[in-house]
A and B are shown apart, each in its own frame.
Chain A
Amino acid sequence: KERRCQKQVRCHENWSLSAEEFEIWDRLYRIKESDGIKEPILPQTHFETLENLEEISQHEEKATHELSLSEWRIWQNRPFPTFMVDHSDRCYHFISVMEMIELMRLEQGDCGYELELQPHLRVEDVTVQRNKSHLSVTSST
């Protein structure tokens, strides 16, 4: 493929595909109706607690396959293999939290995380404008 690219340098000076590249794309990669597979789309960001400015998706739902970031969550408590790009700190945070959730899934009633942290809470660190104590917060929920 690289050889072809070099050969075609002259017509590839544009940002767009050359006629030959277009032909290849159209034949090998382009998703057509006859393929019986849905066009992949990414989920759009959406803020539950804010008014949303983002344009609402114009895709016909049925003709597309929205890529899911959560359907394989039980796999996500360990780092996946990498090739050239290492996992980021953010990614490791994500993995750790998934592992933490996995461990808490088995918990009944009392929350180990809460019990572990409660002795460390200092009143001066938090805003206590609400009269309810932390205990009532979690036990009422």
Chain B
Amino acid sequence: QRLKAAVHYTVGCLCEEVAEDKDVQFSKQTIAAISEITFRQCENFAKDLEMFARHAKRSTVTTEDVKLLARRSNSLLKYITQKSEELASSNMEQKEKKKKKSGAAKGGRTSGEQETAVTESEDSNMA
């Protein structure tokens, strides 16, 4: 519940940005639905990331696994790859932020993805 609340909050913030940007409104129920979808999507992501890493005989999820999540859309993949390269060129210490930013590309799944991965998959030491 605590996790869901955090996702809900963040989704609310992101939706508000979109609302201002596009001059549209979201009902509370819409935001709630997006939150729930995000939360559940994190489960899909966490499982996939774990399997991708295991497939490569790793126990640590890397950016390569994250890129695989984005494989279905060329635009998304390009965006994620760009973000990933931007961050890779900066300091190694910023690897944690890398996750944050590549997660942000999926729109709203940011905080959720990290936290879910951390809580749900025992080997999701993503850094």
Contact = CB atoms under 8 A, between A and B. Distances in A.
A54 B2 contact: no
Given A137-B13, A140-B16, A100 B33 contact: yes
Contacts of A47: 73, 75-76
A15 B5 CA distance: 53
Contact of B44 (A53, A89, A130, A137): A89
Interface in B67-114: 72-76, 78-79, 105, 107, 111
Given A47-B76, A117-B5, A117-B8, A100 B28 contact: no
B2 A122 contact: yes
Contacts of B15: 137, 141
Contacts, number: 111
Contact of A51 (B10, B75, B111): B75
A43 B39 CA distance: 26
B3 to A, nearest CB: 8
B40 A127 contact: no
A138 to B, nearest CB: 5
B105 to A, nearest CB: 8
Nearest to B107: A49
B115 interface: yes
A141 B19 contact: yes
Nearest to A132: B16
A32 B9 CA distance: 53
B123 interface: no
Interface SS of B by simple majority: helix
Contacts of B6: 121-122, 125-126
Interface in A75-132: 89-90, 93, 96-97, 100-101, 104-105, 107, 110-111, 113-114, 116-122, 125-127, 130, 132
Interface in B30-53: 31-33, 35-37, 40-41, 43-44, 47
B12 A138 contact: yes
A31 B107 CA distance: 40
Contact of A117 (B1, B19, B78, B111): B1
Given A104-B33, A113-B35, A125-B6, 19 more contacts: A45-B72, A47-B75, A52-B75, A93-B40, A97-B37, A100-B36, A110-B28, A113-B29, A114-B28, A116-B1, A117-B8, A119-B5, A120-B4, A120-B5, A121-B9, A125-B111, A130-B13, A134-B12, A141-B26
